[in-house]
Amino acid sequence: MSGRLDEAFARARAEGRAALIGYLPAGFPTMPDSVRLVRAMVEAGVDLVEIGLPYSDPLMDGPAIQQAVDIALRQGTTTDVVLQAVTEVSEAGATALVMSYWNPIERYGVERFAAALTHAGGVGVITPDLTPEEAQPWCEATERHDLGRVFLVAPSSTDSRIELICGACRGFVYAASTMGVTGVRANVGSAAADLVARTKARTSLPVAVGIGVSDGRQAAEVADYADGVIVGSAFIRAVLDAASTNGAMSAVSRLAEDLAAGVRGHADVRVR
C-alpha cells in the first residue's frame, strides 16, 4: 500500500509541483458527510487525504480541529468508523492516510490496526505524538503490512534529531511549520523553509509542510520549497462556517480548487 503513497508524490513531482494533502476528521460533521466532503476535496484537486481519528485529548490541535473532533466523538465515531471511512474514500479512488494520536492505535492493538488499515485500503499513518524511540512495535507492524509511517520534525528539532526521525519515516516526513498548535495563520512563517532545507539535507524522502496553510497564496509559497502542502484547519473552518451540508460541500471544493491552483501555479519555476 505504501507504493500508492510514493506514487502520489511521484506524480506531483513529474508535474513539477508539490502534492496537496487535505485533512478532515472521520465523522465530522457526520460519518456520511465526512466521506462526501473528502471525495469533494479529491475531485477539486487534493492529491492525498488524511482521515483524522478523533481523540478526546488532542494536544497538538487548535480550536477548529478540537471543535470538529468533539462533534465527531459526539456522533459516536470510533476507530472502526474511521477505518470504514478509509474504505469508502479509498474505494472512491482517493489515496488515504490516517492521522492519529498514538493512544487510540495502542488501545485498538498495533498489529490489529495495521492489518485493518491495509484491508481498508489505507496507505499509511501520521502519528504526531509518537517518537521513534517508542515506535519499534509500530515500525515492525507497518513493515509487515506495507504501510507508510510519518513522524514529525519541528523548528526546534536539532539536526541529529531530524536525522533520527527521517530514518524512522516511510513515505514522507511531516515538517511542522511552527511551534504550537494547529490552525490557520496569516503567514506560514520563515522557519518552515529552513526546517525543510535541514530535513532535505538528511533524507531522500519527500518533505511536506503542515500547520498554518489556509489559502492558495500560502500554498504556492510553501510549494516553492516543500514536496507537499498539508491543509487541515482551513477545510474544517469552511465546514463549520457553512450554513448547510451543500454549502459545506461547495466551500470545501472552492478551497481545494484555490489550494490546488496555488501548488500548480509554480509548476514553471520549480527546480527539482
> 190-194, 205-209, 244-248: which range is least confident on average?
190-194
Distance of CA 46 to the CA centre of its chain: 11
Q: Do 171 and 205 form a contact (C-beta atoms < 8 A)? A: yes
CA angle (91 as vertex; 255, 43 as ends), nearest 5? 20
C-alpha distance across the termini of the chain, in Å: 26
How far apart, in whole angstroms, are the C-alpha atoms of residue 67 and residue 153?
25
SS3 category, 144: helix
Q: What burial letters (b/e) apply to 36-48, b meaning 16+ CB within 10 Å?
A: bbbbbbbebbbbb
pLDDT band, very low/low/confident/very high, at 265 (cuts 50, 70, 90): confident
- What are the pLDDT digits (tens) for 130-187? 999 999 999 999 999 999 999 999 999 999 999 999 999 999 999 997 644 444 444 5
Q: What is the edge-to-edge ordering of all strands in the sheet holding 96-99?
A: 148-150, 124-126, 96-99, 48-52, 19-25, 228-231, 207-210, 173-176, 152-153
List 7, 15, 33, 50, catalytic entry: 50
pLDDT at 178: 61
Show the cell assigned to 219: 500554498
pLDDT at 212: 81
Q: Do 226 and 209 form a contact (C-beta atoms < 8 A)? A: yes
Largest CA distance in the chain: 48
How far apart, in whole angstroms, are the C-alpha atoms of residue 195 and residue 251?
31
pLDDT at 87: 97
Cis-peptide into 29, omega within 30 deg: yes
pLDDT at 189: 57
User: Is 61 part of the annotated catalytic residue set?
Assistant: yes
- What are the pLDDT digits (tens) for 94-136? 999 999 999 999 999 999 999 999 999 999 999 999 999 999 9
Stretch 46-70: mean pLDDT, rounded?
A: 90
Show the cell assigned to 191: 522557519
How far apart, in whole angstroms, are the C-alpha atoms of residue 261 and residue 223?
11
**Class of domain 2-264 (CATH, top level):** alpha beta
Show the cell assigned to 40: 469533494
How far apart, in whole angstroms, are the C-alpha atoms of residue 245 and residue 3?
34
Closest CA to 18 of 37, 46, 43: 46
- Amino acid letter, residue 111: E
User: Is 50 part of the annotated catalytic residue set?
Assistant: yes
List 61, 88, 221, 227, catalytic entry: 61
Q: Do 50 and 97 form a contact (C-beta atoms < 8 A)? A: yes
